[in-house]
C-alpha cells in the first residue's frame, strides 16, 4: 500500500524553521459549534462507543452466538448479544447484534475539536450489517434504537449535551454515517485513519 | 626484577617551581606572644613527597604531557585538593585525581607543621613498548624508584629535584585496571569528533561493535545485543534515560563528564544486570576552585560551574541544560509542544584527610505534546531524578571505600494522562577498591535496590494485543540484591588477568531468579609492540523494554532472565607515533532474549506484488495469467475481526498491532559474531583521527527458524580526522557508513536481500580564542549529516512492486559558542 513513502525527521533547527510557516503565536481556537455541530459530535460518540464496546468484548471471539458484558472505561456497563460471522481474508465481519448501555461513559480527547467528547449512554441499540477490519474497506451497517439517553459534553471547548429517550435510525456506508437522531437529520464523515 | 614490560612510565619533576604559602598564618600569628614585636624569622620548609604516587598512564591517551597541579597539603601531610593549572585532558584530570592519594611530609614553619600550597609538576611519558628479549630478574634503578620499595618515596626526593629542575623518573606499577574496556573516551577527544556535539555519550556510536538503529538516533545494538540490553551508568548509578527526545543530546552536561568507558562484553563485576553492553560515565572529581564551562547553541544552552566554600573544605557544583527549541516551537507553532531540560548538582565536603561526603543529584525532563484549545495532549513525556549520597574513605596509597545511598523517581506518560508509569527507587551500595600489593588490586561491592512501580496503562480500553503487553507491566515492588568481587592481577610483568564474579538475586511481582555471572579478562604482552587480549563473561538481565525508558521495566520476570555468553579475542598493536590499532574477534550467544525490535523476521509493509489487500478489489493485472490473490488474512480465521469501520481505532486490533504484541512476548535465541578493527591517533594531536570497522552477523532463532536480526548490518565503518590549522583554528570531518538492514522477500528484485546502504558525512570547525591560561572561548560550527543523506528503513509493496521507504534526512546543523574558565 502506498503510504506517501517519504517523510522528514527534522532536526531541531529545521523544525524551528518549518514551524515558522504554521499558525504563529497562539494556541488554536475552535470555530463556533452550533446545534447541528453538536449533534454531529454526539453521533460520532454513539458510533465510536458501540465500536469500542464491540472491540473490547467481541473482537477475537469465535464466530457464532455472542453474549458478553463488561464495565465501561469511565463507569457504567455494556452488554452485547446476538450473532456474528466473519471472512478473515476479506477483512469483514457480518453482525446481527444488540447493545445494551447502562450509564456507560467514555471520554475521547482529540486535537480535533469535533472529535472530542465525554458521553454517557443508557439504552438499547441494534446493529446489523458488515463491519470492516480496515477503515478503507466496505462497511454497510444499520443501527437503530427506540430510546437512547445521551448526556455529557461534546466539542472542545466542551459544550453540554443531553437527550432523553432519543430514537436512533442510522446507517453507515463506508465512512459516511447518517440518519435520524431524535428526529433530526444528522450526518458525519468518520473519515481518516484510525488512531 | 626488572619490570619494564607492563609498567607505565610516569616522570614527574616535583615542585619545579615550589611556592609555599602558609595557610595558617593567622593561627601562627596568634600564637606569637608579642603581637607588636616583629616576628622572629622562621624557617619555612616546603612539603616533601613521602609516598611515591601510583599514577598509571591514562587509558586511551597518547604522547607525553606535562601537568602542573596546585596542591594544597594539610598539616598532616595529606592532600586537601589538587587543581590543574590549565586543562590538558585526559592528563590533567587523571593527575588531579591521582594526587589525592599523595602523602607528604608537611611543610613546616619554625619546625611546626603547617598547611601549604605548592605547585607540583607531573610529566606523563607515553609508555615504551616492552622489550621481549629482556627480562632480567635483577634490580635496577627503575625498580629502586618504584613506590613499592619506598625508594621513590624517600622524603625529600622531589623537593631536592625541584631545585635542580630536573625531573626524576619513576617507574610506577600501574596495572591496567579494565581489560575488557574497548575504549575510554575523554571529553577532550570527544570534543574533536564531528557529529557528537562534544557529547561523550554520543561518541559511543562511532566505536567498533556498535550498530546504529537509525542514523542520529542514539540507540544502538552492541555486538548483536539490542538497545534494551545496553546499560548506562553515571558514577555507578544506573541512568534510566541517557538521551533527550529524538536525536537529542545526552541528559548529563558534558562539562561534568571526565570520561566515558565502553564495555561491549565481559565488563567488570562492578557492572551487571545488563546482557548486552555497558556505557559508563565518570564525573570529574570535585575541584576546590571556581571554574566552569558554558555553551550556547542554536537549539539549547548549557552551563556548569563549581565553586569552593568553607575555605575549600567543600565544593558546590551546579550544571544543566535547557532546550529553547521547545520554547520557540511552542511560541511559533499552534499545535506542537516540545520541551526538554536536565540538571546536575553536587555538594562535596572533606570530613578529614581521608574522608569525603558528597551529595550528587541529576535528572532530566522530556515532553512532546499537542496543543488543543483547552489543554495539552501528551504524546510522550518522561522524567527521572536521582539523588546519590556518598561517603568516600581513602586508604592512602591503597584504595578507597564508597558507601552510597540512592533515591530515585521515574515518571513516564504516553498518549493522554491516563497512561502513566511511576517508579520510585531506593538503593544502597558499597564499593571497595583495595590494593593488596603492587600487582594485585581487589574490588568488591554489594548493592540492594528496591523499586516500587505504580502503573496505570488504562488497560480497560486497549486493543487485545496492547492489553497483553500492558499485562507485563503490573504495579509492584521489585527487589534486587547484588554481590560482586574481582581481582586485577599482574601475574607476570607480561600477563594481566582480571577474574571476577557477581551474583544477583531478583525479585519481582512474586517471581524470583538468581544469576551468577563469572567473568574473566586477560592481557598478554606478546612482543614489544603487540599484546593479546581476551575475555569471557556471563551476563544476566531481567526482561527488558525495547529501549531504555524511565519506569518501563517488565514485571514478574516473564520468561525468566535473559542470559548472554560473551567472548572475544583481540590483538593490540602499538604502531608508534601515537598510533594504535586493535583487531578483535567476538562471539556472543544470547538465550531467552527479549528483543521486540530485532526478533521479528523482516516482512514487507503492504502486500507482495501480485497480491492485493483482502478487503479491497484486486485490480486488473493486465496480461498476467494468474488470478491475483489476496495478500493475507486480516485477523485469525474463525474469529470475529475488529471493527475499524471509519473513525478512530477504539481498541481495535490490527495485524501490525498483533505483530508488535507477539514481538513483546517472544523470547528468542540469538547470536552475534564478527570482527572489529580500530585504528586511532589521539584526536588532540595536531593531526589526529580514528577509524573503526565492524564486520558482523547477528541472528535470531525462534520456533526452529533462524534469520538475521532485524537490525543486522554486515559492515559498519566510521572514520574521523581532526586537524589543527594553527592560530586556534581546528577542523574535522567524520564519515559513517553501514550496510542496510535485511529486506523482506521482494519478488520484483529477488537478488536483493538488504535495503540500501547508508553514508553520511559530519563536519566540525572551531576557532578558539585563548582568553587566559585557564579560560578560552570558542566559536563552533558543526553539522551532523552534512550530506543530507536519507536512510531506508523498510520495504513497502504495492501490486506493481516494492520500494524502499526512506526517512530523513536526519540532520542537525549547529552554530554555537563554547567556553571554559
ipTM: 0.83
Q: Å from A14 to nearest chain B CA? A: 8
Minimal Cα distance from B611: which residue of A?
A1
Residue of A25, A62, A141 lying closest to B331 (CB–CB): A25
Q: In chain B, which residues have their Cβ closer than 8 Å to the Cβ of A175?
A: 645-647
Any chain B CB within 8 A of the CB of A51?
A: yes
B641·A91 Cβ contact <8 A: yes
Please check whether residue A166 lies inside any domain of the structure.
yes
Nearest-Å Rg of the Cα atoms of chain B is: 29
Residue of A8, A11, A63 lying closest to B638 (CB–CB): A63
Q: Å from A12 to nearest chain B CA? A: 6
Q: Å from B241 to nearest chain A CA? A: 20
Among residues B136, B198, B290, which one has the least CA distance to residue B817?
B198
Residues 6+ apart with CB under 8 A from B57: B8, B9, B10, B124, B125, B126, B127, B174
Please tell me the predicted confidence (pLDDT) of residue B417. Answer: 56
A63·B640 Cβ contact <8 A: yes
Asked if residue A139 lies in contact with residue B641, where contact means CB atoms within 8 angstroms, the answer is no
Asked if residue B239 lies in contact with residue B233, where contact means CB atoms within 8 angstroms, the answer is yes
Strand partners, B305: B292, B318
Asked if residue B135 lies in contact with residue B45, where contact means CB atoms within 8 angstroms, the answer is no
At A106, list the grid cell.
467514555
Please check whether residue A138 lies inside any domain of the structure.
yes
Please tell me the predicted confidence (pLDDT) of residue B107. Answer: 84
Distance CA(B551)–CA(B543), nearest Å, equals 13
Asked if residue A93 lies in contact with residue A80, where contact means CB atoms within 8 angstroms, the answer is no
Any chain B CB within 8 A of the CB of A93?
A: yes
Q: In chain B, which residues have their Cβ closer than 8 Å to the Cβ of A88?
A: 614, 633-639, 641
In eight-state DSSP terms, residue B203 is G
Q: In chain B, which residues have their Cβ closer than 8 Å to the Cβ of A15?
A: 325, 329, 338
At A130, list the grid cell.
458488515
Among residues B683, B805, B706, B686, which one has the least CA distance to residue B90?
B683
Backbone angles phi, psi at A51, to 5 degrees: -65, -45
B647·A92 Cβ contact <8 A: no
Please tell me the predicted confidence (pLDDT) of residue B459. Answer: 64
At B409, list the grid cell.
523517581
Distance CA(B592)–CA(B578), nearest Å, equals 43
In eight-state DSSP terms, residue B757 is P
Report CA B526 to chain centroid distance, whole Å.
Answer: 30
Please check whether residue A121 lies inside any domain of the structure.
yes
Residue of A9, A13, A86 lying closest to B813 (CB–CB): A13
Please tell me the predicted confidence (pLDDT) of residue A1. Answer: 32
Going by their DSSP bridges, the two strands B21-22 and B116-124 should be labelled as antiparallel
Please check whether residue A181 lies inside any domain of the structure.
yes
Any chain B CB within 8 A of the CB of A32?
A: no
At B548, list the grid cell.
531504555
- Looking at residues A59-77, what average pLDDT do you find? 92
| Residues A30-52: b if buried by 16+ CB within 10 A, e if exposed | beebeeebbbbbbbbbbbbbbbb
Locus of grid cell 628479549: B133
Please check whether residue A100 lies inside any domain of the structure.
yes
| Residues B539-566: b if buried by 16+ CB within 10 A, e if exposed | bbbbbbbbbbbbbbbbbbbbbebbbbbb
Residue of A12, A62, A139 lying closest to B638 (CB–CB): A62
A190·B649 Cβ contact <8 A: no
- What is the SS3 assignment for B228? helix
State how many domains chain A has: 1
Q: In chain B, which residues have their Cβ closer than 8 Å to the Cβ of A158?
A: 374
Please check whether residue A117 lies inside any domain of the structure.
yes
Helices (H), B287-423: 324-332
What is the extent of the structural domain holding A185?
A: 33-189
| Residues B733-772: b if buried by 16+ CB within 10 A, e if exposed | bbbbbbbbbbbbbbeeeeeeebbeebebbbbbbbebeeee
Distance CA(B563)–CA(B542), nearest Å, equals 9
Any chain B CB within 8 A of the CB of A42?
A: no
Distance CA(B269)–CA(B260), nearest Å, equals 17
Residues comprising chain B, all counted = 821
Sign of CA dihedral B547, B553, B557, B562: positive
Distance CA(A158)–CA(A114), nearest Å, equals 10
Q: Which residues of chain B have pLDDT under 50?
A: 1-39, 130-175
Residue B686 has, within 13 A of its CA and on its CB side, a CA count of: 4
E-strand stretches of B653-799: 668-681, 687-702, 705-708, 715-726, 729-738, 758-772, 775-784, 791-798
Helices (H), B9-124: 25-31, 91-99
Q: What distances in angstroms separate CA B646 from CA A49, A58, B786, one per listed residue?
A: 13, 18, 42
Higher pLDDT, A127 or B611: A127
A141·B377 Cβ contact <8 A: no
Among residues B791, B744, B738, which one has the least CA distance to residue B209?
B738
Report CA A65 to chain centroid distance, whole Å.
Answer: 24
Backbone angles phi, psi at A37, to 5 degrees: -60, -40
Please check whether residue A19 lies inside any domain of the structure.
no
Backbone angles phi, psi at B218, to 5 degrees: -80, 45
B613·A28 Cβ contact <8 A: no
- What is the SS3 assignment for B470? helix
Locus of grid cell 616583629: B38
Among residues B370, B380, B455, B456, which one has the least CA distance to residue B413?
B380
Among residues B636, B643, B620, B731, which one has the least CA distance to residue B683?
B731
Q: Å from A57 to nearest chain B CA? A: 10
- Looking at residues A109-116, what average pLDDT do you find? 87
DSSP labels for A75-139? S-EEEEEEEEEEETTTTEEEEEEEEEEEEEEEEE--SSGGG-EEEEEEEEEEEEEEEESSTTS--
Please tell me the predicted confidence (pLDDT) of residue B618. Answer: 55
Q: Å from B315 to nearest chain A CA? A: 35
Q: In chain B, which residues have their Cβ closer than 8 Å to the Cβ of A59?
A: 464, 635, 639-643, 651-653
Q: In chain A, which residues have their Cβ closer than 8 Å to the Cβ of B216?
A: 9
Strand partners, B49: B104
Residue B733 has, within 13 A of its CA and on its CB side, a CA count of: 5
Please check whether residue A126 lies inside any domain of the structure.
yes
Backbone angles phi, psi at B279, to 5 degrees: -115, 115
At B110, list the grid cell.
619554625
Asked if residue A25 lies in contact with residue B331, where contact means CB atoms within 8 angstroms, the answer is yes
Task: Give pTM, 2 decimals.
Answer: 0.80
Q: Å from A163 to nearest chain B CA? A: 23
B334·A27 Cβ contact <8 A: yes
Distance CA(A54)–CA(A78), nearest Å, equals 10
At A98, list the grid cell.
444488540
Any chain B CB within 8 A of the CB of A55?
A: yes
Backbone angles phi, psi at B648, to 5 degrees: -75, 170
Interface test with A, best of B635, B640, B760 (most A CBs within 10 A): B640
Q: Å from B417 to nearest chain A CA? A: 10
- What is the SS3 assignment for B210? strand
Amino acid at each position: 500500500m502506498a503510504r506517501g513513502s517519504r517523510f522528514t525527521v527534522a532536526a531541531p533547527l529545521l523544525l524551528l524553521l518549518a514551524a515558522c510557516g504554521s499558525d504563529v503565536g497562539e494556541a488554536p481556537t475552535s470555530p463556533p459549534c452550533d446545534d447541528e455541530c453538536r449533534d454531529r459530535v454526539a453521533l460520532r460518540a454513539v458510533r465510536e462507543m458501540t465500536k469500542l464496546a464491540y472491540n473490547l468484548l467481541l473482537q477475537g471471539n469465535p464466530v457464532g452466538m455472542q453474549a458478553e458484558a463488561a464495565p465501561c472505561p469511565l463507569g457504567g456497563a455494556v452488554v452485547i448479544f446476538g450473532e456474528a460471522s466473519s471472512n478473515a481474508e476479506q477483512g469483514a465481519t457480518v453482525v446481527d447484534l444488540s447493545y445494551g448501555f447502562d450509564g456507560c461513559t467514555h471520554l475521547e480527547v482529540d486535537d480535533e475539536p469535533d472529535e472530542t467528547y465525554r458521553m454517557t449512554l443508557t439504552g438499547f441499540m441494534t446493529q446489523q450489517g458488515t463491519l470492516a477490519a480496515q477503515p478503507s474497506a466496505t462497511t454497510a451497517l444499520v443501527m437503530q434504537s427506540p430510546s437512547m439517553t445521551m448526556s455529557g459534553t461534546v466539542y472542545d471547548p466542551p459544550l453540554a449535551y443531553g437527550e432523553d429517550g432519543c430514537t436512533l435510525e442510522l446507517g453507515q456506508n463506508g465512512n459516511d454515517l447518517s440518519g435520524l437522531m431524535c428526529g433530526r437529520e444528522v450526518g458525519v464523515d468518520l473519515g481518516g485513519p484510525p488512531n | 626484577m626488572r619490570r619494564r614490560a607492563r609498567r607505565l612510565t610516569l616522570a614527574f619533576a616535583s615542585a619545579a617551581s615550589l611556592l609555599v604559602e602558609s595557610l595558617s598564618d593567622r593561627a601562627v600569628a596568634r600564637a606569637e606572644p608579642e603581637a607588636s614585636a616583629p616576628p622572629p624569622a622562621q624557617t619555612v620548609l616546603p612539603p616533601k613527597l613521602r609516598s611515591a604516587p601510583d599514577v598509571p598512564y591514562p587509558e586511551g591517551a597518547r604522547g607525553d604531557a606535562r601537568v602542573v597541579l596546585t596542591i594544597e597539603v594539610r598539616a598532616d601531610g595529606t592532600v586537601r585538593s589538587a587543581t590543574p593549572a590549565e586543562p590538558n585532558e585526559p592528563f590533567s584530570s587523571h593527575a588531579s585525581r591521582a594526587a589525592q592519594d599523595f602523602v607528604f611530609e608537611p611543610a613546616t614553619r619554625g619546625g611546626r607543621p603547617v598547611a601549604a600550597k605548592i605547585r607540583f609538576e607531573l610529566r606523563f611519558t607515553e609508555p615504551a613498548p616492552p622489550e621481549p628479549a629482556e627480562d632480567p630478574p635483577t634490580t635496577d634503578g627503575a625498580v629502586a624508584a618504584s613506590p613499592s620499595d619506598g625508594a621513590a618515596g624517600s622524603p625529600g626526593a622531589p623537593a631536592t629535584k625541584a631545585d635542580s629542575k630536573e625531573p626524576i623518573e619513576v617507574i610506577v606499577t600501574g596495572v591496567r585496571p579494565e581489560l575488557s574496556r574497548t575504549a575510554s573516551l575523554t571529553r577532550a577527544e570527544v570534543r574533536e569528533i564531528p557529529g557528537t556535539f562534544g557529547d561523550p555519550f554520543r561518541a559511543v556510536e562511532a566505536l567498533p561493535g556498535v550498530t546504529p538503529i537509525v542514523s542520529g538516533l542514539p540507540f544502538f545494538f552492541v555486538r548483536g545485543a539490542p538497545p534494551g540490553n545496553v546499560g548506562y551508568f553515571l558514577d555507578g548509578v544506573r541512568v534510566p534515560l541517557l538521551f533527550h527526545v529524538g536525536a537529542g543530546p545526552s541528559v548529563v552536561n558534558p562539562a561534568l563528564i571526565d570520561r566515558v568507558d565502553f564495555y561491549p562484553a565481559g565488563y567488570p563485576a562492578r557492572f551487571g544486570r545488563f546482557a548486552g553492553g555497558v556505557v559508563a560515565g565518570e564525573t570529574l572529581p570535585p575541584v576546590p576552585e571556581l571554574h566552569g564551562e558554558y555553551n550556547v547553541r542554536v537549539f539549547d544552552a548549557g552551563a556548569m560551574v563549581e565553586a569552593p566554600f568553607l575555605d575549600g573544605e567543600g565544593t558546590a557544583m551546579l550544571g544543566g541544560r535547557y532546550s529553547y527549541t521547545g520554547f520557540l516551537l511552542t511560541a511559533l507553532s499552534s499545535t506542537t509542544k516540545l520541551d526538554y531540560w536536565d540538571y546536575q548538582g553536587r555538594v562535596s565536603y572533606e570530613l578529614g584527610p581521608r574522608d569525603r561526603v558528597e551529595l550528587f543529584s541529576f535528572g532530566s525532563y522530556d515532553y512532546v505534546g499537542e496543543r488543543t484549545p483547552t489543554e495539552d495532549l501528551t504524546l510522550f513525556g518522561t522524567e527521572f531524578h536521582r539523588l546519590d549520597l556518598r561517603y568516600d574513605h581513602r586508604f592512602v596509597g591503597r584504595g578507597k571505600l564508597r558507601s552510597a545511598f540512592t533515591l530515585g523517581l521515574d515518571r513516564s506518560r504516553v498518549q493522554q494522562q491516563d497512561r502513566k508509569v511511576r517508579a520510585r527507587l531506593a538503593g544502597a551500595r558499597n564499593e571497595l577498591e583495595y590494593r593488596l600489593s603492587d600487582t594485585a588490586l581487589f574490588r568488591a561491592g554489594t548493592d540492594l535496590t528496591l523499586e516500587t512501580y505504580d502503573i496505570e496503562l488504562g488497560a480497560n480500553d486497549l486493543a487485545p494485543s496492547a492489553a497483553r503487553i500492558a499485562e507485563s507491566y503490573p504495579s509492584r515492588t521489585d527487589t534486587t540484591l547484588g554481590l560482586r568481587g574481582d581481582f586485577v592481577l599482574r601475574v607476570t610483568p607480561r600477563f594481566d588477568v582480571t577474574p571476577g564474579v557477581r551474583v544477583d538475586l531478583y525479585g519481582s511481582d512474586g517471581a524470583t531468579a538468581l544469576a551468577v555471572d563469572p567473568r574473566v579478562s586477560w592481557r598478554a604482552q606478546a612482543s614489544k609492540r603487540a599484546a593479546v587480549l581476551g575475555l569471557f563473561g556471563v551476563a544476566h538481565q531481567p526482561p527488558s523494554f525495547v529501549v531504555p525508558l524511565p519506569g518501563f521495566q517488565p514485571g514478574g520476570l516473564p520468561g525468566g532472565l535473559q542470559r548472554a555468553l560473551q567472548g572475544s579475542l583481540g590483538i593490540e598493536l602499538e604502531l608508534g607515533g601515537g598510533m594504535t590499532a586493535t583487531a578483535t574477534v567476538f562471539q556472543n550467544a544470547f538465550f531467552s532474549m527479549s528483543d521486540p525490535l530485532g526478533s521479528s523476521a523482516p516482512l514487507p509493509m503492504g502486500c507482495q506484488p501480485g497480491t492485493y489487500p483482502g478487503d479491497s478489489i484486486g485490480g486488473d493485472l493486465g496480461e498476467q495469467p494468474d488470478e491475483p490473490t489476496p495478500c493475507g488474512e486480516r485477523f485469525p480465521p474463525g474469529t470475529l475481526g475488529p471493527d475499524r469501520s471509519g473513525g478512530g481505532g477504539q481498541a481495535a486490533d490490527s495485524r501490525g498491532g498483533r505483530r508488535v504484541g507477539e514481538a513483546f512476548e517472544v523470547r528468542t535465541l540469538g547470536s552475534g559474531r564478527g570482527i572489529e578493527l580500530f585504528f586511532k591517533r589521539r584526536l588532540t594531536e595536531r593531526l589526529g583521527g580514528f577509524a573503526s570497522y565492524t564486520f558482523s552477523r547477528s541472528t535470531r532463532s525462534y520456533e526452529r527458524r533462524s534469520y538475521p536480526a532485524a537490525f543486522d548490518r554486515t559492515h559498519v565503518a566510521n572514520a574521523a580526522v581532526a586537524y589543527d590549522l594553527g592560530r586556534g583554528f581546528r577542523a574535522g570531518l567524520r564519515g559513517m557508513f553501514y550496510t542496510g538492514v535485511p529486506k523482506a522477500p521482494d519478488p520484483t528484485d529477488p537478488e536483493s536481500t538488504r535495503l540500501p546502504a547508508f553514508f553520511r558525512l559530519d563536519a566540525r570547525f572551531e576557532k578558539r580564542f585563548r582568553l587566559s591560561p585557564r579560560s578560552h572561548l570558542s566559536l563552533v560550527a558543526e553539522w551532523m549529516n552534512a550530506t543530507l543523506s536519507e536512510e531506508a528503513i523498510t520495504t513497502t509493496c504495492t501490486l506493481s512492486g516494492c520500494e524502499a521507504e526512506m526517512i530523513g534526512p536526519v540532520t542537525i546543523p549547529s552554530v554555537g559558542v563554547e567556553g571554559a574558565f
